[in-house]
Chain A
Amino acid sequence: GAVVSQHPSRVICKSGTSVKIECRSLDFQATTMFWYRQFPKQSLMLMATSNEGSKATYEQGVEKDKFLINHASLTLSTLTVTSAHPEDSSFYICSAREAAEGTDTQYFGPGTRLTVL
């Protein structure tokens, strides 16, 4: 199956700093990547849809100036959490859609656990 990587897997930072998370599709090209956030015992919540070469589409309630998304190539999307605060502590997961497969199946990266002190 398709492989998606994420880096870093875990990050601890001080309040007010910015954190960048990378999502890569390793063996396929992904015109669309998705960023999710999951709080403990909660569902995955879609934050934004990242389209290669164009602006990301943010879900309602997600601040686009706080969560900056860049999808510069067909294999890389980045999420930057700017001026992180403790309430941003969460499990951030990206996924990439393998369009060539024709089923719109999304494959998930291993996730990044962010802890803001």
Chain B
Amino acid sequence: GQNIDQPTEMTATEGAIVQINCTYQTSGFNGLFWYQQHAGEAPTFLSYNVLDGLEEKGRFSSFLSRSKGYSYLLLKELQMKDSASYLCAAYGNNRLAFGKGNQVVVIP
């Protein structure tokens, strides 16, 4: 079975750092994805982790601990355009299971 858990909403100031956590329980786990979704739009790919550790990609970094079933997405130097929902998705048994998403609101 698959169970993905994310906190629902957070507010942060422009220029700040935000960490979004995700825990998962996934059969046949084979990778953890993070997507960004603006209201009314489809998700866009941000990052992929399959091995333990931190993957850095510009202002966004993603971390995975397979033994703990845990990942986080780190957003640095927040910009107003980063206001969106951030979805984690665990890949297992040839399918992606999405969490409900964490709504990040960036304020000036």
Can you list 5 A-B pairs with a CB-CB distance of less than 8 A?
A108-B43, A108-B45, A110-B41, A110-B42, A113-B40
Interface residues of A in 33-52 (CB under 8 A from B): 34, 41-46, 49
Q: Knowing A44-B87, A104-B31, A105-B33, say if A1 contacts B45 (CB, 8 Å).
A: yes
CB-based contact A49/B95 at 8 Å:
yes
Contacting residues, chain A, for B45 (C-beta < 8 A)? 1, 105-108
Minimum CB distance partner of B101 in chain A: A43
Residues of the A chain whose Cβ atoms lie less than 8 Å from the Cβ of B11: none
B interface residue numbers (CB < 8 A to A): 4, 30-31, 33, 35, 40-45, 48, 50, 87, 89, 91, 94-101
Contact with B along A41-71 (1 / 0, CB 8 A): 1111110010000000000000000000000
- Which A residues lie at the B interface, using CB under 8 A? 1, 6, 34, 41-46, 49, 93, 103-111, 113
**Interface pair B100/A103, CB less than 8 Å apart:** no
Closest to B103 in A: A41
Residues in B neighbouring A45, C-beta threshold 8 A: 98
Instruction: Flag if A106 contacts B41 (CB, 8 Å).
Output: no
Q: How far is the CB of A96 from chain B (nearest CB, A)?
A: 12
Q: Give the Cβ gap from B42 to chain A, nearest Cβ, in Å.
A: 4
Determine whether the beta carbon of A103 is less than 8 Å from that of B98.
no
- A43/B100 in contact, CB under 8 A: yes
